[in-house]
Amino acid sequence: MLDKLEHQRALAGLRRVNRLCSTGRWIAQAIQNCSIKIPDRPIEILDLGCGSGDVAIDVLRRLSPKIPCNVTGWDMSLLAIEDASSQWLSHPLNKSLPGRLQFERQNIFEPGLPHDKFDIVYCCLFLHHFDDESAVIVLRNMKSLSRHFVIVDDLRRTTLGWWLAKIGCHLLSRSPVVHFDGPQSVRAAFSVDEAIQISGRADLINGTMTTHWPQRFLHCWEISC
């Protein structure tokens, strides 16, 4: 287990990676495209595996002036939730953005998760942490939590992706955890075909799959109209 200081350094490094890769922009654009088919407002959005909350904050920043929405971030790490809450509390837009943003400690594998609680459930850079069987459970539970859409944005397992992670993580962070985890995450990631196969096992079918910088895929499924 990481000590608190090293965990915080790793979270800070991942925030820089997300800024460089415009992770929040890709997610926000996908949600905006989906929102056309959601009649009720405000839209309730879940960021699963939210880490230090930077993507959730960026998603709310980009969407809330255009679409009434609330964002909830879930993570199983109490330290991550504390860090995310602190980041949002001190954020310059905390008091001015419309919409609600909150962070909660929650384990996606725990029984008794609520059904149809959110309009859109997304995760980014989260699925590759799991083996095939666990990833299927994650996707099934995401589908159960969502009323309308499920979105997954994650790494593709490619040679170029490995080199980008290797170089980028060393440039963007001094954390040895980030230096190791970046390339290792690409090794553990799914190919596009594998991601489609695993989602099918989770009864998520007929989704739209796109790829984008830097060597990532974005997979989106409509649950209901």
Model confidence over 194-225: pLDDT tens digits? 999 999 999 999 999 999 988 899 999 999 64
Residue 160: other Cβ atoms inside 10 A: 11
Q: What is the CATH number of the domain that holds 206?
A: 3.40.50.150
d(CA 66, CA 76): 30
DSSP reduced 3-state for 220: strand
Report the sign of the C-alpha dihedral through residues 145, 84, 130, 110, in that order: negative
**In the chain, pLDDT over 90 holds for what percent of residues?**
65
Number of domains within the chain: 1
Does pLDDT of 88 surpass 90? yes
pLDDT tens, residue by residue, 107-150 = 999 999 999 999 999 999 999 999 999 999 999 999 999 999 99
- What's residue 19's pLDDT? 73
Asked if the model's pLDDT at residue 7 lies above 60, the reply is no
pLDDT: is 48 or 24 the higher one? 48
Q: For position 189, what pLDDT does the model report?
A: 82
Q: State the Cα–Cα distance between residues 186 and 154, nearest whole angstrom.
A: 10
pLDDT at position 18 over 70: no
Owning domain of residue 180? 4-222
Q: In residues, how long is the chain? A: 225
Please, which residues have CB within 8 angstroms of residue 102's CB and are 6 or more apart in sequence?
A: 71, 72, 73
Who has greater pLDDT, 184 or 85? 85
